[in-house]
């Protein structure tokens, strides 16, 4: 007997993507929609988020924008409820919202540390805590967190960013262990340097940006930065049922950065 026709690798699923107005989150939202998911574009940046949701709808997909500050626990509750009210289900959470802007320890500022931890780590925790009860009650779900190569090894000058991304990796494993018996999978993605506004804006503001880019690119054995699409393809895989036996795992997409 042939399998029923399914249009798209995540067809029928509803996916909530944070940080979806830019970079990796935006490309993940586009790819999930192209593969058949209804996508909730969630971000602080309303204009870019609305524009992306509009573009997905115009291209024949299904998307809506919801304003979300991932550090705001009450807003997380309202967003998840809005998704359920509108779509009646929530199958996938992708936590792309994140910030960099770290300072070296020797020039450290506690306020910078706290802000990076609040967005990258607390924001991921609040997202997991908001969606876990919904997914557990449904007996299904896939959560994809975005850690980093900076969650696997230290990067000089980035103590808070590394600590936040290491925290995301272990938060992911703890959540995976807790939620696996309930049918919910939780996996992390660890990108190398990717061509997104986060990285490109920082290079543009640096008089030595070109040299810094060349040095960073050469740390990747493939010799270049990655592209948002190369991370979004991993997001779609982990969101889809193709990865049904994966939970608590680290999908490293880094051009070989951590291999050498
Ligand atoms: N670009 C890279 O090289 C790279 C490498 C490894 C990991 N990452 C991670 O990937 C994720 C996406 O990064 P990107 O490179 O696409 O960056 P980006 O700056 O292009 O996009 C980040 C998005 O997050 C949103 N955001 C920031 N703070 C928020 C908040 N409090 N609430 C809601 N939204 C918020 C921003 O508005 C923006 O749209 C981040 O977690 C980042 O740390 C990026």
Residue 181 CA to ligand 1 center (angstroms) comes to 31
- Give pLDDT, residue 180: 98
Query: How far apart (Å, rounded) are the C-alpha atoms in residues 16 and 11?
Result: 14
pLDDT in tens, 42-60: 999 999 999 999 999 999 9
Query: How far apart (Å, rounded) are the C-alpha atoms in residues 129 and 132?
Result: 5
Rg (CA), the chain: 18
What is the dotted CATH code of the domain comprising 14-191+227-252?
3.40.50.720
Which of 50, 98, 127 for a ligand 1 pocket mutation test, highest count of atoms within 8 Å of Cβ?
A: 98
Taken as a whole, the chain contains a residue count of 260
The Cα diameter of the chain in Å comes to 66
Enumerate residues lining ligand 1, CB below 6 A: 18-19, 21-25, 43-45, 68-71, 96-99, 119, 123, 146, 148, 191, 193-194, 196-199
pLDDT in tens, 74-124: 999 999 999 999 999 999 999 999 999 999 999 989 999 999 999 999 999
Q: Record the pTM.
A: 0.98
Residue 98 CA to ligand 1 center (angstroms) comes to 4
User: Does the active-site annotation cover 110?
Assistant: no
| Strands laid side by side in the 250-253 sheet | 62-67, 38-43, 14-18, 92-95, 141-146, 184-191, 250-253
**Domain spans of the chain?**
14-191+227-252, 194-225
């Amino acid at each position: 007997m042939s399998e029923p026709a399914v249009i798209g690798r995540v067809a029928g699923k509803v996916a909530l993507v944070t940080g979806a107005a830019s970079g990796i989150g935006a490309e993940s939202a586009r790819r999930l929609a192209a593969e058949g998911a209804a996508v909730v574009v969630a971000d602080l940046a309303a204009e870019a988020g609305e524009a992306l949701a509009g573009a997905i709808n115009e291209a024949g997909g299904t998307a809506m924008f919801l304003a979300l500050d991932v550090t705001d626990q009450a807003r997380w509750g309202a967003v998840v409820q809005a998704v359920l009210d509108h779509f009646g289900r929530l199958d996938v959470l992708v936590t792309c919202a994140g910030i960099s802007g770290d300072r070296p320890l020797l020039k450290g500022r506690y306020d910078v540390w706290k802000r990076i931890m609040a967005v990258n780590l607390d924001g991921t925790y609040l997202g997991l805590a908001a969606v876990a009860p919904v997914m557990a009650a449904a007996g299904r779900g896939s959560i994809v967190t975005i850690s980093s190569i900076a969650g696997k090894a230290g990067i000089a000058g980035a103590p808070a960013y590394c600590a936040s991304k290491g925290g995301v990796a272990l938060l992911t494993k703890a959540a995976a262990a807790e939620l696996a018996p309930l049918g919910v999978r939780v996996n992390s993605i660890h990108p190398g340097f990717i061509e997104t506004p986060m990285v490109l804006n920082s290079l543009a503001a640096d008089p030595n940006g070109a040299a810094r880019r060349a040095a960073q690119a050469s740390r990747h054995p493939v010799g270049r930065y990655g592209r948002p699409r190369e991370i979004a393809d991993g997001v779609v895989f982990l969101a889809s049922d193709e990865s049904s036996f994966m939970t608590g795992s680290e999908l490293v997409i880094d051009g070989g950065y951590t291999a050498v």
